[in-house]
A and B are shown apart, each in its own frame.
Chain A
Amino acid sequence: AQTVTQSQPEMSVQEAETVTLSCTYDTSESDYYLFWYKQPPSRQMILVIRQEAYKQQNATENRFSVNFQKAAKSFSLKISDSQLGDAAMYFCAYPGAGSYQLTFGKGTKLSVIP
């Protein structure tokens, strides 16, 4: 069974500072994608960033970047220059090849302190 583990139930960061959210996953596949989704109190899941496993370069989207360690099966999200609007639940997700469903971690609740 595919598993996605987020070991930090809650994190906090000062506004304008940098925070890193951790995620590990289990797979026997070699080619796959990984996703980070954000879920604000409005409940709508919003894609933050995705990483292609066969690409060695870490994905970057504005203030969001990932540290992808394929051998360690680690996929952490770094948020730079944190803003109040970044406060939300963050979910790591893995859609295993051959399995169409997204498997989500339990999430990390991020608080941004003004």
Chain B
Amino acid sequence: EAGVAQSPRYKIIEKRQSVAFWCNPISGHATLYWYQQILGQGPKLLIQFQNNGVVDDSQLPKDRFSAERLKGVDSTLKIQPAKLEDSAVYLCASSSSRGGFSKNIQYFGAGTRLSVL
């Protein structure tokens, strides 16, 4: 079974530029999550999708971050314009969501390391 795929692995941009990350979840997983992991910290949820609808985006900086999940499969996370403090690893995860959200194991991709100069 293929895992969660993310691309690119690394991205270096200058501040005020835009950047996009792509995620393909495990086949059949209805729930998709985007996390931001700043160096030295644990991941923090940015947005959660159930199929192609947003479940929770309360911690997404909506003035510069946007995310979509068309057709309930792949997802893209965009930052425009980027700031220095956006330098982090962006992790995508998916879960099957059966039996209640809190019980389901989240499977993670390898993440994208973003450096904003």
Q: Are B103 and A101 in contact (CB-based, < 8 A)? A: no
Number of interface residues of A (CB under 8 A): 27
| Docked pose: A32 CA to B42 CA in angstroms | 20
A-B contact count (CB 8 A): 59
B contact residues vs A (CB 8 Å cutoff): 31, 33, 40-45, 48, 55-56, 89, 91, 93, 101-103, 105-111, 113
A contact residues vs B (CB 8 Å cutoff): 4, 32-33, 35, 37, 42-47, 50, 52, 91, 93, 95-102, 104-107
CB distance from A114 to the nearest CB of B (A): 26
CB within 8 Å for A101 and B45 given contacts A43-B110, A45-B108: yes
| Docked pose: A52 CA to B42 CA in angstroms | 22
What residue of chain A has the Cβ atom nearest to residue B93's Cβ? A45
CB distance from A81 to the nearest CB of B (A): 25
Given contact pairs A99-B102, A100-B55, a sample of 16 additional A-B residue pairs in the complex whose CB atoms are under 8 Å apart: A4-B42, A44-B110, A45-B43, A45-B91, A45-B108, A47-B105, A47-B106, A50-B105, A100-B48, A101-B45, A102-B33, A102-B43, A104-B43, A104-B44, A106-B41, A106-B42
CB within 8 Å for A44 and B111 given contacts A102-B45, A102-B106, A104-B43: yes
Q: Are A95 and B108 in contact (CB-based, < 8 A)? A: no
CB within 8 Å for A42 and B110 given contacts A105-B42, A106-B41: yes
What residue of chain A has the Cβ atom nearest to residue B33's Cβ? A101
Q: Are B108 and A101 in contact (CB-based, < 8 A)? A: no
